[in-house]
Copies of this chain bind each other. A is one copy, B any other.
Amino acid sequence: MKLLVGPKDRKYLVDDEKTELHTNYGVVKLDGAMPGDVLESHTGYKFSVIAPRIVDLSEKLPRAGSIVLRKDLGYIIACTGAGSGDVVVDAGTGSGTSAMFFGNIVGPDGKVHTYEIREKFADIAEKNIKKASLDKIIKIHMQDIREGIAQKNVDIVNLDLPDPWEVVPHAHRALKPGGFFVAYVPYVEQTQKTVEALKEHFSGIKTFEIMEREIEVKGIGTRPKTRMLGHTAYLVFARKY
């Protein structure tokens, strides 16, 4: 995939085999275009060619359902210390965003196993993962993770499911000592049930919420934006010792 950035920072994600991009700013010939090139449309607009980063892919690839936002995903990555070579188990896959962020981090020495039971989502995720060239790193399992986790010596189990407490014993068996359990749950009741289930198996159980506030630095003055997101989910962390 290539990313073209045109006027007003409009982004266009294009397949490598594509030879032409049609935009509101004219047609751009793509033959042999490489990251770093600056192309011109037939009407004279400039387009920069970029190797898309995971943030571009997650922004431009098709989505199904809601995705875990960067404020939350970043916090999960930082608190678990996700890194190159890690083995991550993820569920549900959804459109694959979380799996792709993890896949991008664990790299060729790591592995992401992502579980999804909704065929529609698995299909979208599969295509997205392929387009992100992460299909050697991420494996989609069309299985119900509540029935078990086949993997062993896992570093992180990351759950975006309505009932993560059902996965707690499986996660404990799958994780290596020092491995992290993470659940993303919108409701307090889910948080409580997850914490309760974790107590039997895990240590270091902690729950957080992350609030992101954009600051506008403009000519008229500096101030936080009028609108912000009040809540996405609680993040429940636990660790196997």
Contact = CB atoms under 8 A, between A and B. Distances in A.
Contacts of A241: 5, 9, 48, 50
Interface string A1-38: 00101000100000000000000000000000001100
Contacts of A191: 215, 217, 222
A120 interface: no
A227 to B, nearest CB: 6
Contacts of A36: 176-177
A195 B209 contact: no
Interface string A213-226: 11111001111111
B105 A83 contact: yes
Interface residues of A, number: 80
A101 B81 contact: yes
Q: Is the interface of A mostly helix, strand, loop or mixed?
A: mixed
A221 B186 contact: yes
Indicate how many identical chains form the complex: 4
Interface in A177-226: 177-178, 186-192, 195, 203-217, 220-226
Contacts of A106: 84
A78 B84 contact: no
Interface of A: 3, 5, 9, 35-36, 48-56, 58, 70-71, 73-85, 101, 104-110, 155, 176-178, 186-192, 195, 203-217, 220-232, 234, 241
